[in-house]
Amino acid sequence: MSATTPETPTKLQLLELLAAIGTAQWRDFAAAAAHHGLTSTQAKVLAQLNGPLPMRALATLLVCDASNVTGIVDRLEGRGLVRREADASDRRVKNVVATDEGRDVIRRVREEMQATHGALDTLGAEDSATLYALLARLRPGMEKDA
Amino acid sequence: MSATTPETPTKLQLLELLAAIGTAQWRDFAAAAAHHGLTSTQAKVLAQLNGPLPMRALATLLVCDASNVTGIVDRLEGRGLVRREADASDRRVKNVVATDEGRDVIRRVREEMQATHGALDTLGAEDSATLYALLARLRPGMEKDA
DNA sequence: CCCGATGCTTGAGGAGGTCAAGTAAATGCT
DNA sequence: AGCATTTACTTGACCTCCTCAAGCATCGGG
């Protein structure tokens, strides 16, 4: 234990801090999305659409019922941010693809998460790398389902 | 750049990782809450109630409209997890206080966030302290509103 | 060829969220 | 004191998100 090592936090403190940061980032995201007339759920869906994605895949990613995705995509399609395309090899599936406008909007939403960007900017390269490495170690355990 | 220093991540990578962890933790929390018949929002409210809290204060903490809190507290009160008490010095305000059962339930929810607990357990004391310190530096910037 | 599994939509119903309006109580300004 | 403004909460209308049950179309394996 070197002189510069901070006190070891309790697991509860760490949990609470992690929750606070998660909440803050989510609010930042929701605010940026709202700026473009999107709910946070709609923005989240848009954020997944790097390529065409079947409805089912979307439901799996969001960990929700397929029927829920129908409604969300309906609303996104209504605004012209997304398109349903027939799948070439399976006529049951509909691939969802972001329109040019959709891609543009989600790019701006990401850029406009000012609180998050600002906070991350206070970290130097070395601290960023350390944080990244620690979070990367946490991730697999967190995403495992009970 | 020493041999053991990991590559510096881009801000986008760090942002994405932070979002993933936040999402995973939220899901863990929601699952634990559901185990006790609570929605995640209800559990979140219950988690704030260390002492009596006026409806208005609750709305401010949750960053939502006061009318929304009315409904959430109605449902919690219906299950006997919470009580509305008249305020001694201002007859307009109603203080919300957790019942014994309410306190018990939220304590169990926290304990049952297994994915999160499991992930945090993989970190040693020193790594925990490092992570805690880095997140603590991030927090104020993240909670500042745009 | 038929039968079960898969992909999507629809409809009913609950919870979370906002806004506008209403009531009751506190505060503040002459 | 008295009247106007503000503040705390509730109600009602209306939307989105979410789940479950049911239905339809298509796919794939005996």
pLDDT above 50 (res B143): yes
Tokens for A13?
A: 């403190």
Q: Express the helix, strand and coil content of chain B in percent, nearest 5 each.
A: 65, 10, 30
Tokens for A31?
A: 């605010």
Q: pLDDT tens for residues B45-77?
A: 999 999 999 999 999 999 999 999 999 999 999
pLDDT of residue A78: 97
Q: Phi, psi at residue A80, to the nearest 5°?
A: 75, 20
Does the beta-carbon distance from B22 to A20 stay under 8 Å?
no
Closest in B24, B122, B126 to A137, CB measured: B122
- What distance in Å separates the CA atoms of residue A70 and residue A136, rounded to the nearest whole number? 33
Is the model more confident about B7 or about A27?
A27
Tokens for A79?
A: 């605004």
Give the least confident one: A37-46, B10-19, B24-33, B90-99. Answer: B10-19
pLDDT above 90 (res B3): no
**B63 Ramachandran zone, left/alpha/beta (phi>0; psi -120 to 50):** left
Report if CB A56 to strand C is under 7 Å.
yes
Alpha carbon B106 to its chain centroid, in Å, reads: 11
- What distance in Å separates the CA atoms of residue A69 and residue A55, rounded to the nearest whole number? 7
Q: Which residues of B touch A17 (CB under 8 A)?
A: 132, 135-136, 139
pLDDT of residue A2: 46
Name the band, by pLDDT with cuts 50, 70 and 90, for residue B2: very low
pLDDT of residue A129: 95
pLDDT above 60 (res B12): yes
- Strand C contacts in B 86-145 (CB under 7 A): 90-92
- Which of B58-69 are b and which e, b meaning 16 or more Cβ less than 10 Å from the residue's Cβ? bbeebeeeeeeb
* List of domains in chain B: 15-139 (1.10.10.10)
Does the beta-carbon distance from A139 to B21 stay under 8 Å?
yes
Is the model more confident about B146 or about B40?
B40
Tokens for B135?
A: 């997140």
Name the band, by pLDDT with cuts 50, 70 and 90, for residue B121: very high
pLDDT above 90 (res B128): yes
Q: Give the pLDDT of chain A (146 residues) as one tens digit per residue.
A: 545 555 788 888 999 999 999 999 999 999 999 999 999 999 999 999 999 999 999 999 999 999 999 999 999 999 999 999 999 999 999 999 999 999 999 999 999 999 999 999 999 999 999 999 999 999 999 988 76
